[in-house]
Amino acid sequence: MPEIAENAAAPTDRQALLNELRWKKFPVLDDGFVCLVDIMGEDSSIVQAARVSYGEGTKKGSDDRTLIRYLLRHRHTTPFEMVELKFLVRVPMDCWRQWIRHRTANVNEYSTRYSIAIDSTQTTPADEWRTQSQTNRQGSEEMLPADVGEKLTAAERELQELTRRVYQDRLDLGVAREQARKDLPLSTYTEAYWKVDLHNLLHFLALRMDSHAQLEIREYSAAIGRKIVQPLLPMVWEAFEDYRLHASGLSRLEIGCIQRLMQHAAANGRVPPLSTEDFLAVQDPSWRELTRSRERDECLAKLQELGLVTR
């Protein structure tokens, strides 16, 4: 029989947690949700797969934690595929378009060919309309003034009510569901079962919890990560936060910048933090002739976060 690792949750405790989380709908946006349908595996499943132990188990919970951290830190991801999670999600169609691009999952979505579309659309509060980012074509920036937002929200409500009325009129006149749906807005909610292994789920969360991701999908990924994954897989979540979510990698060019920056500081008898001008003086030669360079900006942001360059 496998030995129970020290500090591991007793089976009854884990079962109680599973019973609490299964089918519990965590609200997202105004009418969306995520909920856990089922899970196969736990932290120890990853350890067993990595050691090919066939159930022999480990004697110390600290050993499991150390190994999980090593695997994630060094990107040995196959053992994480031994854990699978199935979710039920309700999400606006525009957000779902981004979600479904992660093609490493099994999906079964609510069909508006067979069923009447869900009578719910995501609405935007007057104080949540965002301006287009000037530095990121696919992102947003600041909030619009509330008076402008009120007009936008009123127009949004009018449009959504009109499209739903047109859709319902078509159905009442006998139009096929597959055709009647074609003018429904992307704000219409859809539902889907989404089953994914832990390796690909962590990849999804790393991308969609990032500050550059769209706000709406960030809220969904945060709910999945913090409300479901974290309590069920605490060792994995700790390592994920340390090595993926709150970590920052350095490219060869960025390492070169740091080396030259330190040499520049030493030659002038100075210590960090240095100025942006100092950074520009030692930037990679391939960036020098560019008026704008996202790679240069990203490098500068990393050095500022590390305290090597002033903000």
Which active-site residues does the annotation give?
208
Q: What is the DSSP letter of 209?
A: S
Retrieve residue 308's tokens. 């090597």
Q: Which of 190, 165, 21, 214 is nearest to 92 (CA)?
A: 190
Residue in 98, 75, 133 with CA at minimum distance from that of residue 249: 75
Amino acid at 300: L
How far, in Å, CA of 257 to CA of 286, rounded?
Answer: 12
* Residues 165, 154: Cα–Cα separation, whole Å: 17
CA distance 290 to 144: 32
Question: Which residue has 């104080």 as its token pair?
Answer: 127
User: Which residues have CB under 8 Å from 288's CB, separation 6+?
Assistant: none
Please provide the size of the chain in residues.
311
Contact 108, 192 (CB under 8 A): yes
Query: Which of 97, 38, 43 minimizes the C-alpha distance to 72?
Result: 43
Nearest to 87 by CA among 229, 199, 237: 229
62: phi then psi, degrees, rounded to nearest 5: -65, -35
What is the rounded distance in angstroms from the CA atom of residue 43 to the CA atom of residue 39? 12
* Cα torsion 146, 147, 152, 156: sign: positive
